[in-house]
Amino acid sequence: MPEMKARWDIFCTVVDNFGDIGVTWRLARQLVAEHSVTVRLWVDDLRAFERLCPDIDINASQQWQQGVEVRQWTANWQPTEAADVVIAAFACQLPGAYMDAMAEREKPPLWMNLDYLSAEDWIVGCHGLPSVKYKSVQKFFFFPGFQKGTGGLLRESGLLERRQQFQQNPESQREFLQGLGIDRAQGAQLVSLFAYENKGLASWFDAMAADSTPTHLLVPEGRVLGDVARWLGVDGLVAGAVHVRDALTVQVLPFVRQDQYDLLLWCCDFNAVRGEDSFVRAQWAGRPLLWHIYQQDEDIHLDKLEAFLALYTKELSEPAREAISGLWHSWNAGETMSDHWLATRKHWPELQKHAEAWCLEQALQDDLAAALVQFYVNWI
């Protein structure tokens, strides 16, 4: 098997937040664990990395984490041999000296740009096409996606089985939640909230507080806390804080390790997620979700939102489709959420069933790491 011996370099610039490192770290680990390749992960911001993986030594220029060689990518680039497969994540610009090292190899490496995730149709036509060339080295587009003909989604082997076992085991869930200091409020639905700042939050919280079903809302530390604090009428919020307002219990959680975040999503009845990686993980959780999409210039993110909603809601009944689409639209526009939340709650059983069906359908695709390896095998 040629891929057994291959050396891979993955380059990650942390533009902001955690998605860039979240995706590349997950991919690097999976390539090592499931495809026996050698991976160096070059990262320009180890502090962001440390949040997802507290074992990271932010001062080390080189370290090993879960079989991955993590290299600090500094402005002062030291010459290094180019790998067999080079992945530039999210169109990041490789160091000039490294590009020369790629071109100097006897057999140029396979050079790919791992793009952002989108459900738009044009992805299918562009996935795998040649992009620019540097000297003798050809770059290729690699697009993750939800549809056949794309690069698929990151999904570790056995993930869904592990998730289903965990969800069928209330004791494991209770233990995990207790470890985070969570004692589920009696009869309450569990909701997680990972989002950017959002003006619509107050109206959603109002609706949950006034609901006949209690909600226990879990909010990992992060950008949305300011809005949460404003709604609660408190000065600031730190991990461990618990506030009750009528039927709504709000609990602030520490930002947990990446694998623990999966367990949190698996415990919850509903997950509000954002960006790219948490969005995909919430789909693998098999539970209804709310996506806060990452805003882009000229509102191009709205096309991505529509494309995903069109795919995701295709098999839903008309009223359920309207309800969940309305909720996602209002959340992403920062508009009033209350009516949309109530409408969504009306279609809960259908949305729950659908979330699992969607997850299983997506899992029929090759996962992204396997698709990358296959692309390489086809290329050599």
Judged by CB under 6 A, the stretch of 94-102, 197-205, 241-249, 271-279 that binds ligand TRH is 271-279
Site residues for ligand TRH, window 218-237 (CB under 6 A)?
220
Helix (H, G, I), strand (E, B) or coil at 28: helix
Q: Which residues contact 195 (CB under 8 A, 6 or more apart)?
A: 201, 223, 224, 272, 273, 274, 292
Binding of residue 144 to ligand TRH (CB under 6 A)? no
Start-to-end C-alpha separation, the chain: 12
- Contact mark string toward ligand TRH, 190..219, x via CB under 6 A: ----x-------------------------
Measure the CA–CA gap between 341 and 202, rounded to whole angstroms. Answer: 12
Residue 295 is classified by DSSP as P
Q: Which is nearer to ligand TRH, 247 or 311 (CB)?
A: 311
Binding of residue 20 to ligand TRH (CB under 6 A)? yes
Q: Which is nearer to ligand TRH, 20 or 206 (CB)?
A: 20
Site residues for ligand TRH, window 279-338 (CB under 6 A)?
279, 294
Give the interface size with ligand TRH as a residue count (CB under 6 A): 21
Q: Which of 12, 52, 228, 359 binds ligand TRH (CB under 6 A)?
A: 52
Kindly report the CA angle at 336 between 309 and 194, in degrees rounded to 5?
60
State the catalytic residue, choosing from 276, 277, 350, 367. Answer: 276
Q: Which of 261, 266, 270, 284 binds ligand TRH (CB under 6 A)?
A: 261
Q: Which of 256, 320, 327, 373 binds ligand TRH (CB under 6 A)?
A: 256
Residue type, 365: Q
Tokens of 155: 């999904």
Measure the CA–CA gap between 281 and 244, rounded to whole angstroms. Answer: 28
Measure the CA–CA gap between 209 and 292, rounded to whole angstroms. Answer: 21
Q: Which residues contact 261 (CB under 8 A, 6 or more apart)?
A: 220, 278, 281
Q: Which of 65, 249, 251, 258 binds ligand TRH (CB under 6 A)?
A: 258
Residues that bind ligand TRH (CB under 6 A): 15-20, 22, 52, 194, 220, 255-256, 258, 261, 274-279, 294
- Catalytic annotation, residues: 20, 276
